[in-house]
Amino acid sequence: MKVAVVAITRHGIALAGKVVAALPGASLFAPEKFRAEAEAAAPAVVQCYSGKVGDQVPALFAGFDGIVAIVSLGAVVRLIAPHLGNKESDPAVVVVDEAGCFAIPVLSGHVGGANALAVHLATTLGATAVLTTASDARQTLAVDLLGRELGWTIEATHAEIVRVSAAVVNDEPVALVQEDGSGDWWTGHANGRSGPLPATLERFARIEDVDPQRFAAVLWISQRAMPDDYAVQLAGKAIVYRPGGAH
């Protein structure tokens, strides 16, 4: 992830040095008037700007996968609001307070990686990651990240992802059918999962073993095409995962 660390005060720039050190390849953006402090905090990776920090946002959105802002949460919301697109293209945005106590994902928590970035920074800085995404707050399954570290691809519409995600976080019965791929998708899950699988998630070895009427949603990990009768019965409430590579 290519990350820009933005700090606008002396104290913030000092903390930014620790943030940059924790993120290989990160760059520090700071006001020109604090160039000396910025170069001391993060030698060789400083980009100083003149004028308002808000004027830098379009370039940061276009040029970076992630933005760590050591700026107040309210100010960051106002700064990025005019530039929001969608969660598939917007960068991950994390706010860290000047005291280094909290790392707060603001934008693109799941798909963009802001939640994972916040957890990493919290671990490095000895801070607390403030995760407000339901699946992360409750340490349950994030359906849009299942198998991501393993190179799996997802076949689902936005509406299907929303519906299935809601079923998971609302503790509705969900069938998880794994016919292919590595079984290490839970312990290797994005943001870390150490507890048991949700009790409302029932596992199956074949899609034909599932009674579609019993479940609010189905997660299907397979390389084959879904049987026609199941495709009809699961329309709108299933996500298909395609494992890649060796399995």
CATH assignment at residue 52: 3.40.50.11220
The reply to whether 115 and 159 lie within a common domain is no
Strands of the chain, DSSP E: 3-7, 27-31, 46-49, 66-70, 92-96, 102-107, 128-129, 153-155, 174-178, 201-204, 217-221, 238-242
Q: Which domain holds residue 187?
A: 148-242
Separate counts of helices (H) and strands (E) for the chain = 8, 12
Residues, the chain, total?
A: 247
The reply to whether 29 and 60 lie within a common domain is yes
Query: Cβ-count burial of 187 within 10 angstroms (0-12 exposed, 13-18 middle, 19+ buried)?
Result: exposed
Domain final position from 102, 132, 162 = 132
- Please report, in angstroms and rounded to a whole number, the separation of the first and last CA atoms in the chain: 26
The reply to whether 125 and 13 lie within a common domain is yes
**What is the C-alpha to C-alpha distance for residues 123 and 117, in angstroms, rounded to an integer?**
10
Per-residue pLDDT of the chain (247 residues; tens, 9 = 90+): 899 999 999 999 999 999 999 999 999 999 999 999 999 999 999 999 999 999 999 999 999 999 999 999 999 999 999 999 987 789 999 999 999 999 999 998 777 889 889 989 999 999 999 988 777 767 788 898 888 888 899 999 989 999 999 999 899 999 999 999 998 888 777 666 777 888 999 999 999 999 999 999 999 999 999 999 999 999 999 999 999 754 3
The reply to whether 99 and 10 lie within a common domain is yes
The reply to whether 127 and 182 lie within a common domain is no
- Prediction pTM value: 0.76
Sign of the Cα pseudo-torsion (70, 76, 124, 117, in order): negative
The reply to whether 15 and 90 lie within a common domain is yes
50 occurs within a structural domain? yes
